[in-house]
Structure 1
């Protein structure tokens, strides 16, 4: 399988955590896609032009992080399942998945808005309130002594680590420079500190990508997919100036 993804490992990638937990890490061929560099367009195989994008062994293309992580979990060879079978436990895990995924999404929105001149204050006031309420809810959720690690936890690691990355860079004048989701949230802080020790996290978090990460390699793999599907590769690479790949899960 080929995984087109952002090799920026300054935050935890949910899809990589799930792949590792499922025992499928060694089954993946990683194809780096850099969000703001020329030549990394993947729109030829994914009309949404987003990472992660997963190409199966039969060249079926899956996109959308929730689709990909559920596929990986469903095909787990490790005996580990992140989507609980028990209905009550499953719905709770999916609720926490939705909560964390939204924190990631609105943080991306604010990070991109920060680049505008001038940035719109309302974008931050609307979305920052969601972030604060959500991390407060995560703190409440972590008052429960979870015995296992599920998809909601994987997504929470992803969201909080990306939030860390962006708040340290400074999001907006209305957000205190020293704001930290750990403050006043001891349960969440303790859980996160332990969870990042998991092999599925240490496999990539804060580690440099090693391998071919050129645009040529990316387009070569796209051409391979298109050839198998009986389609033609684009005549030229698409510039990020008109075809931006958002940071992925």
Structure 2
């Protein structure tokens, strides 16, 4: 049995769980909660970075981060979410980088706005990260993911889901095409709703 050290709110762990479902591997993965802020959590021994998600393999070794885990699961399943064709593959991987980049920026905004002491918070830092999100969403609005569902689609959907979770869907008013795309994705991929925090 594989063990996925995870948190319900993590968009990266959600990406892994959705990919696993699409690959038919969910039954082989036990999801185990991890607290990346707790020094006593075994996560820090399993992953020196102390980050989630981390996948514990049957031999006790660990894989991290989400991109490596999805690559491993795709290999284990014989393919399915990372296209083999070079053109489709690099389109999917580029979309994955865009979705993950939105999550990276959103997490930094959240940390700056919630975790840092108020006196140390930087509006400039928040605006810088928000600019990344805005440009990414504008690019996705102009050209939403197309074709069969792959890791790029999953990553973008998880990024939009995280923006809904942490920023009450503020992105939706300016991006109706992306809203329509996400609704279509949700109908096609039931695991998206099933993994919602």
- For normalisation by structure 1, the TM-score amounts to 0.71
Aligned partner (choices 132, 139, 142) of residue 140 of structure 1: 142
Separation (CA, whole Å) in 1 of partners of 2:34 and 2:45: 14
Aligned to 1:74: 75
Look at both structures and tell me which one has the larger radius of gyration over its CA atoms.
Answer: 1
Q: Compared with structure 1, are the counterparts of its residues 202 and 165 closer, same or farther at alpha carbon in structure 2 (3 Å cutoff)? A: closer
Q: Which runs of 5+ in 2 are unaligned?
A: none
Aligned to 1:205: 196
| 27-36 or 100-109: bigger deviation | 27-36
Q: CA deviation at 1:180?
A: 2.2
Separation (CA, whole Å) in 2 of partners of 1:10 and 1:166: 11
Structure 2 counterparts to residues 120-159 of structure 1, below 5 A: 120-142=122-144, 146-159=146-159
Aligned partner (choices 176, 179, 190) of residue 189 of structure 1: 179
Q: Secondary structure at the match of 1:48?
A: coil
Give the conservation status (yes or no) of the 8 Å contact 1:42–1:50.
Answer: yes
Q: Secondary structure at the match of 1:96?
A: helix
Q: CA deviation at 1:200?
A: 2.1
Separation (CA, whole Å) in 2 of partners of 1:9 and 1:114: 17
Give the conservation status (yes or no) of the 8 Å contact 2:8–2:14.
Answer: no
Separation (CA, whole Å) in 2 of partners of 1:8 and 1:148: 26
Aligned to 2:30: 29
Give the conservation status (yes or no) of the 8 Å contact 1:182–1:189.
Answer: yes
Can you list the C-alpha shifts for 1:159-199, whole angstroms capped at 9, x where unaligned? Answer: 1111122212xxxxxxxxxx722223222111101212322
Separation (CA, whole Å) in 1 of partners of 2:98 and 2:196: 22
CA RMSD of aligned residues (A): 2.2
Q: Compared with structure 1, are the counterparts of its residues 63 and 200 closer, same or farther at alpha carbon in structure 2 (3 Å cutoff)? A: same
Q: CA deviation at 1:37?
A: 5.8
Separation (CA, whole Å) in 1 of partners of 2:133 and 2:11: 20
More helix by proportion, 1 or 2? Answer: 2
Separation (CA, whole Å) in 2 of partners of 1:48 and 1:38: 12
Q: Which runs of 5+ in 1 are unaligned?
A: 169-178, 207-249
Can you list the C-alpha shifts for 1:180-233, whole angstroms capped at 9, x where unaligned? Answer: 222232221111012123222133224xxxxxxxxxxxxxxxxxxxxxxxxxxx
- For normalisation by structure 2, the TM-score amounts to 0.88
Q: Compared with structure 1, are the counterparts of its residues 49 and 156 closer, same or farther at alpha carbon in structure 2 (3 Å cutoff)? A: same
Separation (CA, whole Å) in 2 of partners of 1:10 and 1:152: 13
Higher relative contact order by CA 8 Å / sep ≥ 6: 1 or 2?
A: 1
Separation (CA, whole Å) in 2 of partners of 1:98 and 1:14: 12
Separation (CA, whole Å) in 2 of partners of 1:32 and 1:125: 32
Q: CA deviation at 1:34?
A: 3.4
The count of corresponding residues between Structure 1 and Structure 2 is 192
Q: Compared with structure 1, are the counterparts of its residues 12 and 61 closer, same or farther at alpha carbon in structure 2 (3 Å cutoff)? A: closer
Separation (CA, whole Å) in 2 of partners of 1:140 and 1:94: 18
Aligned to 1:44: 45
